[in-house]
Chain A
Amino acid sequence: MNTAVWRALISGPLFAAPGRSLLAVAAIAIGVALGLAVHLINASAASEFERAARQLAGEADLVVRGGRAGFKEQLYPLIAKMPGVATASPVVELEASLHGRRETLKIIGIDALQAYAIQPQLAATDNGARNALFDADAIRLTASAARELNAGINDMVTFKVGTQPLPLRVVEILPDSSYRQRLGLMDIAAVQWRFERTGMLSRIDLRLAKGTDPHAFRQNLQALLPPGVHAVTPQTDSERGLAITRAYRLNLDMLALIALFTGTFMVFSSQVLALLRRRTHIALLRALGVTRSAVLGWLIVEGALLGGIGSLIGLAGGYLLAGQAMTFAGADLGADYFRNLHAELTVEPLTLLAFLGLGMTFAIIGAALPAWDAARRQPASELHARDDNDALHRPLWIGAGLAAMIAGAVLALLPPMGGLPIAGYGAVALLLIGAVLLMPALTGLMLSPAPLPSSTALALGLAQLKATPRHVAISVAAILVSFSLVVAMLIMVLSFRLSLGQWLDQVLPADLYVRAAVSGETATLSAAEQLRIAQSAGVASISFSRFQSLLIKADQTPLTLIARDLPVEDVHNSLPLVNAPLTIAPGAPPAAWISEIAAALFEWETGQVIALPLGGAEHPFTVAGIWRDYSRQNGAVLIDRRVYRKLTDDHSANDAAIRLTAGATPSEAERSLRAALPSAATIEIASAADIRKISLGIFDRTFAITWALELAALVVGLFGVSVAFSVQALARRREFGVLRHLGMTRGQISAMLAGEGALTAGVGALCGLAVGTVIGIVLIHVINRQSFHWSMELHMPWPQLLLLFVVTAICAAATAVFSARSVMRADSIAAVREDW
């Protein structure tokens, strides 16, 4: 009996129309593949990051850490002598600028004798390296650093300190098994000397003696620490680093899930249509005595089968995709978050199982809803059903759709949960679901006033669509789901890009920018060099900046401090302020302008007096304004460099913004600058336009992956159209046959189908445009704000949207014709004489 039911209900129809099943399988496969790939890449990057942090922390119980400038080394003996300390390992860390290269290399200066007790894998592996352990000219590289620098043993790697080159000899390349990050290891005394960090430490790793209560110890320790220096556990240290990427990773995960959701929707729509076609089969089986639950069961098994096959293909595809994406774009998919990481794809069997389960569950849900509907029907009336008209009079889900939309709107107003825009994502999902539920009603509403075109073929197509809004709604919804997501991302990304462009214009007001190095923190301009730059020909005015990082809270990434030569009256014009700035009253603490991100992370507001740890002491500042900052995710605070110099006695600078005198050309100015500086070759001189171009280039690279996901969503949406039309075409075989008898050419039938496809896509895309715009607004004002704490202006990219609209309609028309092409062959003629 079971086999018979299986053959009658499932395998027969499946093999009769393998294309439909293939498309459903492909949709699930694409969804699972994308979901898995993004998850794998994310998980690999995160686990690599954690692994790296754990490795670096070794067996440390506590890490004492300050901002980038670090803290005075006198703290080290104090801590080392504290009761309860088994090992205290001092570390100097810095991001060293490489001579003549854009990249930087993270250098870790350690006291090997202490560090080995905490990080045994730091131990040198061969005699050459052991002998050079205190060598001030030697550096040990991790394998990935050596690969990237293309350096072998005894090669020289040249760094840049101040404006001078510093060549170091590679004495050892650590195996991949010890550290996968890109790192250079040196003796702590050598780093302090050669990189001009004498007297300063970045961190002290502590291992506590057995029986020491870490909590009590930490409290005693914190009392000893100067402002801006904190003792944290290595877990906090690594979580803190990872937290900054959390929102970005969640973003990608959500995109991947949406791809999977679209896949589910595909299964749902293909099953709905397939079951409509199989109604008489099902009714017959029911009449022959197959129970309702058996029918339901078999149909769900079918969904599970499709989902299982699709998921398995998706797992393989996702794995390959992840591998390729990581090779070409890196573990952060081009977002530049994990610069020093060298992640490898790691796959847990459990993850694969989870995605297999997810794919199957979604497929089963997609199959179960229509199956339940099919099994519920009365076999008696179904047996004699001659066409699908009765389906038109079933209730439309207007109430549910409106409820979902309202709930979505409410969710969009909720604050972040745990620092993440969970409610925002919920809002997007509900808006989508609501729109899908409203589609049958909306489709009817939108099509009914449309006048019949004069072309008979198109008129027939429109008449068919008008008469079957529920069928059409499924195709329309497939387009709506994918199109609205693409529209939302398009609006968000292009709004972001435009805002970024405007922002760059505002923060790059000068003509030329001089930097000690493109990147890294070791390259600086000395006071003498600053003077020479200022006196160089063609320079009308100049503003130097010094960058530092301040550790405000133990569990947060350090804040970037920008100390800039400010003509105070001009600050409010040159900063992209988002609110009305405050004029500091005489006698009040000096002004500090904070970025939006800093305002959100530290909950600071304009007018508030904040304490910044500078030069080993806390100093009060008044928040004078909040500005938009797209470049420093950890938050930034801008202060007057005069104040900074007074408090820290640090007179060096990292870069200079130069306005040229009238008539001076940038190239002349660059020549005279280079002539003024003895080490001119190593200085970076760029125009505002260059920097703008590079910045936008980085932005585009970051969002490259989202385009790939978008494209996939659109393809899955077209699959939806294809499924709907191929199933419809089967059901309409007799209709096509009649039309051929009545004298319609194949071309006319194709035109009719193309018209239906384009119209379907048009309605879907129109609704998608509306829903997508709303989702785009949620992305901009809720999700981005809550994830990254930055604001941007909404910008509707009409030309791109129009292009997308036309392309989608054309694709849908082509898909419709292509899907129905087999039916339009001669056998439709025979279909008119089939007796049902």
Chain B
Amino acid sequence: MLSLSHLHKTYSGPAQRAILQDVSLELVPGDFIAIVGDSGCGKSTLLNLIAGLDLPDSGSVRLQNREITALDDNTRTRIRRRDIGFVFQAFLLLPYLTVLDNAALTLKLNGITHREAQHKAQAALSAVGLSELIHRFPGTLSGGESQRVAVARALAHEPKLVLADEPTGNLDTESADVVLQLLRDRVKAQRSIGILVTHSSDAAATADRIYRLHRGTLHAA
């Protein structure tokens, strides 16, 4: 259960700019929605607020009925580690870890034993169809393969919330379709909440609902 209510965020600086104005949203497990919008519309800020990486000026973010904005940084970090998974446009796998270790990283951060973490990561990787590549290093993978590893990493610890920020931005159409399909399937399978941020309408089309972020306000499209 994710609930955003009346989020406001203004960036101070030479030119004060309202990034988000009165954004509210309620999502339940199994939801897989897309948020679309132009560059600079506030998508990244919104994701940061949801992930507890940043705090709103006003409003609340509740995940699993906990008010995230009221927590300290370390607690928020622990919530992020346990309950949130991320997929980035640039894959952002750690180059010095194998595919398996990358996928197991979040599990290990959550204190799961090495053996169990390896086991779960392996399962997550075979779920995205990469069982053969688990001992390779990210540098040797194609873009599509890399992003599938990222999906496995984001979902291996069965988070309540998966945030995917332009996951297909660096992929060809064919790979993009595969990755989106996998992402959606996994989110649905694990009864997570999936939020897909994208400016691609093709990508957005895979979502249950589409929201548009425009000048800091969120509308159902």
Contact = CB atoms under 8 A, between A and B. Distances in A.
A294 interface: no
Contacts of A833: 44, 88-90, 165
A136 interface: no
A747 B78 CA distance: 12
Contacts of B86: 738, 741-742
A387 interface: yes
A467 interface: yes
Contacts of A738: 86, 88, 92, 94
B95 A743 contact: no
B63 to A, nearest CB: 13
Contacts of A529: none
Interface in B130-185: 137, 139, 153, 165, 169
Interface stretch (A302-310, A458-466, A721-729): A458-466
A741 B101 CA distance: 17
Interface string A729-745: 00000110110111111
A569 B59 CA distance: 100
Given A463-B97, A741-B51, A832 B90 contact: yes
Interface string A693-735: 0000000000000000000000000000000000000000011
A743 B77 contact: yes
A127 interface: no
Contact of B81 (A389, A459, A744): A744
A389 B139 contact: yes
How many chain A residues sit at the interface, stated as a range, is 20 to 34
B82 interface: yes
A454 B114 contact: yes
Contacts of A460: 94, 97, 105
Interface in A740-768: 740-748
Contact of A836 (B73, B81, B90): B90
Interface in B81-113: 81-82, 84, 86, 88-90, 92, 94-97, 101, 105-106, 108-110
Interface in B53-92: 53-54, 73-74, 77-78, 80-82, 84, 86, 88-90, 92
Given A456-B105, A456-B108, A464 B96 contact: yes
Given A832-B88, A835-B90, A836-B90, A742 B105 contact: yes
A468 B96 contact: yes
Contacts of B110: 743
Contact of B106 (A389, A464, A742): A742
A467 B101 CA distance: 13
B48 interface: yes
A389 B138 CA distance: 10
A835 B39 CA distance: 13
A836 B44 CA distance: 17
Given A454-B114, A456-B105, A745-B74, A735 B94 contact: yes
A276 B109 CA distance: 30
Contact of A463 (B84, B88, B101, B169): B101
B77 A466 contact: no
Nearest to B80: A743
A447 to B, nearest CB: 11
Contact of A456 (B48, B53, B109): B109
A829 interface: yes
Contacts of B77: 740, 743-745
Contact of A743 (B78, B139, B165): B78
A741 B80 contact: yes
A605 to B, nearest CB: 63
A456 B157 CA distance: 15
Contacts of A829: 48, 53-54
Nearest to B75: A745
A827 to B, nearest CB: 11
Contacts of A386: 139
A734 B92 contact: yes
Given A734-B92, A832-B88, A835-B90, A742 B139 contact: no
A742 B79 CA distance: 10
B96 A832 contact: no
Given A454-B114, A829-B53, A832-B88, A743 B94 contact: no
Interface of B: 44, 48, 51, 53-54, 73-74, 77-78, 80-82, 84, 86, 88-90, 92, 94-97, 101, 105-106, 108-110, 114, 137, 139, 153, 165, 169
Interface of A: 386-389, 454, 456, 459-460, 463-464, 466-468, 734-735, 737-738, 740-748, 826, 829-830, 832-836
What are the 6 A-B residue pairs with the smallest beta carbon separation, nearest first?
A: A743-B81, A467-B96, A389-B139, A738-B92, A456-B108, A743-B80
